[in-house]
Homo-oligomer: A and B are copies of this chain.
Amino acid sequence: MSKVDDKKQQKRESLLDSAFQLFIEHGFSKTSISDIVRSAGVAKGTFYLYFKDKFDIRNHLIAHKASQVFQNAYEAMGREQITDFEEQVIFIADHILDQFSVNHSLVLLLSKQLSWGFLKSSVFQAPGSSSSGDTPTILAIFHSLLEQARYSYRNPEIMMYLILELIGGSSYNAILYEQPVPLSELKPYLYQTVRGILRQHRQAPTD
């Protein structure tokens, strides 16, 4: 990678970092592009060399952070010895919620986006800028876990959709406002429900 490309990547990331900080600090609509470039230390025009507009940078940001959060959870799972699919799902959910817990900004940015539809369209394809995958995509991970599972599942997509919406939606208030209860208190109920959903969709032992 040439010196120029290096600098370009650096600028791009500086913009993404600044935008992230400002979005979670002041909110999306109260953050102006002026704010972003000022914080990133680049000129206004430079922003438009890398992103189409504010929405564009937000989308890149969400896709990037969401992918990261999943990768973190997946890697952590690798360090444990968890073979059961149900336990794997719970482990990943738990790990993600813990990441959210210590980093509220992630909740603000991601929580409401955690839905199957969104992940399918934007996160799974391109975790980095180019999909030249060394790291497996989240979709691939999910399917490989599914294949190795003891049971097979009816409509795994619907199943995951329900789980994601449940977790994504309920974590928002619990983490940010401790409503109706703090996350730690919510977790048992949440995971029990997740297990319930998984069992509903179980089909039969994959001998």
Where the two chains meet, the residues of A that have a C-beta atom closer than 8 Å to any C-beta of B are 29, 112, 115-117, 120, 155, 157-159, 161-162, 165-166, 168-170, 172-173, 177, 179-181, 185-186, 189-190, 192-193, 196-197, 200-201
Q: Closest residue of chain B to A174, judged by CB?
A: B161
Complex: A32 Cα to B188 Cα, angstroms: 44
Whose C-beta in chain B lies nearest to the C-beta of A164? B169
Quick one: copies of this chain in the complex? 4
Most B-side CB within 10 Å, residue of A112, A159, A170, A190? A170
Taking CB atoms, residues of chain B closer than 8 Å to A170 are 115, 161-162, 165-166
- Complex-state Cα separation, A190 to B177, whole angstroms: 26
13 pairs of residues in contact across A and B, judged by CB atoms under 8 Å: A112-B112, A115-B173, A117-B177, A157-B181, A158-B181, A158-B185, A161-B170, A161-B173, A165-B170, A166-B169, A166-B170, A193-B196, A193-B197
Interface residue SS majority, chain A:
helix
Q: Which residues of B contact A120 (CB under 8 A)?
A: 180
Q: Tell me if B155 and A189 are in contact (CB < 8 A).
A: yes
Q: State the CA gap A135–B170 with chains docked (Å).
A: 29
Chain B residues contacting A193 (CB-CB under 8 Å) are 162, 193, 196-197, 200
* Shortest beta-carbon distance from A178 to chain B in Å: 10
Query: Which chain B residues lie closer than 8 Å to A201 at the CB level?
Result: 189
A185 and B161 CA atoms in complex are apart in Å by 13
Chain B residues within 8 Å of A165, by CB: 165-166, 169-170
Task: State whether A189 and B158 are in contact (beta carbons under 8 Å apart), knowing that A165-B170, A166-B165 are contacts in the complex.
Answer: yes
For A155, what are the chain B residues with a Cβ–Cβ distance below 8 Å? 181, 189
The reply to whether A196 and B186 form a contact with Cβ atoms under 8 Å apart is no
- Other 10 A-B pairs with CB < 8 A, given A115-B172, A155-B181, A196-B197: A115-B169, A116-B179, A157-B180, A158-B185, A161-B170, A161-B173, A162-B170, A165-B170, A166-B166, A196-B200
